[in-house]
């Protein structure tokens, strides 16, 4: 993340995202698959990492071995062809995108951090500073109801941030400048889709 200044001199928080180049690896048609879709591959990898069917799927179309494959539904396939490169040129300044990625994993976390619970009294004699407290009644029902907010795994989940504005496009370095933050750590793999 960094910041840029607009015409009025306001500092805007932005995230620079490297986009592509991505290759179209397969076209899905309504006759064969029941819907129109485009499969896109990103990030070239070593041949040793691939299984034979995966490698055959790519080499059949004359494409390099691509690590990350993702599929998108499209209304029409007229503008797409196998092997076509998709990069920053498909985005325009002022447009909006939805960004999906894996959030930062924070491990096993307690109630205060995970669910924003308040702590107990800090005075003398209180042994309930960060303890969870009561988790349910006694004999009836004699169990803890499902969905009770308790300590557990925090983060490392798929998150989508919608309607991030595109403030800049750098064709030379394939960079997209988005207003605001995106999920995950630097270097995280993101899924960017035009917002409707």
**Domain spans of the chain?**
2-89+166-186
Q: What pLDDT band is residue 67 in, cutting at 50, 70 and 90? A: confident
Which CATH code fits 2-89+166-186? 3.30.160.810
Residues 12-29: tens digit of each pLDDT = 999 999 997 899 999 999
pLDDT at 60: 87
Is the separation of the CB atoms in 39 and 69 below 8 Å? yes
Question: Do the beta carbons of residue 37 and residue 73 sit within 8 Å?
Answer: yes
Q: What is the pLDDT of residues 126-144, one digit of tens each?
A: 988 999 988 999 899 999 9
Model pTM score: 0.82
- Phi and psi at residue 58, to the nearest 5°: -85, -45
Mean of pLDDT values over 155-171: 95
Per-residue pLDDT, 46: 78
In the sheet that 96-102 helps form, which strands lie side by side, from edge to edge?
A: 2-5, 11-18, 175-179, 158-170, 96-102, 191-194
Q: What is the pLDDT of residue 168?
A: 93
In whole angstroms, give the CA distance from residue 57 to residue 41: 11
Contact partners, residue 63, CB within 8 Å, separation at least 6:
23, 25, 41, 82, 83
pLDDT at residue number 54: 86
């Amino acid at each position: 993340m960094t910041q840029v200044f607009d015409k009025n001199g306001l500092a805007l928080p932005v995230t620079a995202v490297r986009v592509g180049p991505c290759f179209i690896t397969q076209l899905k048609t309504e006759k064969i698959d029941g819907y129109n879709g485009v499969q896109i591959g990103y990030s070239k990898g070593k041949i040793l990492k691939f299984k034979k069917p995966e490698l055959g799927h790519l080499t059949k179309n004359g494409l390099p071995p691509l690590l990350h494959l993702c599929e998108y539904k499209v209304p029409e396939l007229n503008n797409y062809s196998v092997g076509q490169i998709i990069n920053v040129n498909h985005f325009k300044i002022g447009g909006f995108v939805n960004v999906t990625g894996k959030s930062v994993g924070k491990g096993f976390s307690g109630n205060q951090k995970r669910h924003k619970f308040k702590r107990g009294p800090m005075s003398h004699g209180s042994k309930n500073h960060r303890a969870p407290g009561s988790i349910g009644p006694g004999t009836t029902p004699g169990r803890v109801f499902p969905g009770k907010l308790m300590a557990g795994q925090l983060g490392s989940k798929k998150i989508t941030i919608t309607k991030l504005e595109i403030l800049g496009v750098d064709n030379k370095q394939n960079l997209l400048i988005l207003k605001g933050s995106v999920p995950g750590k630097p270097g995280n793999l993101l899924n960017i889709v035009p917002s409707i």
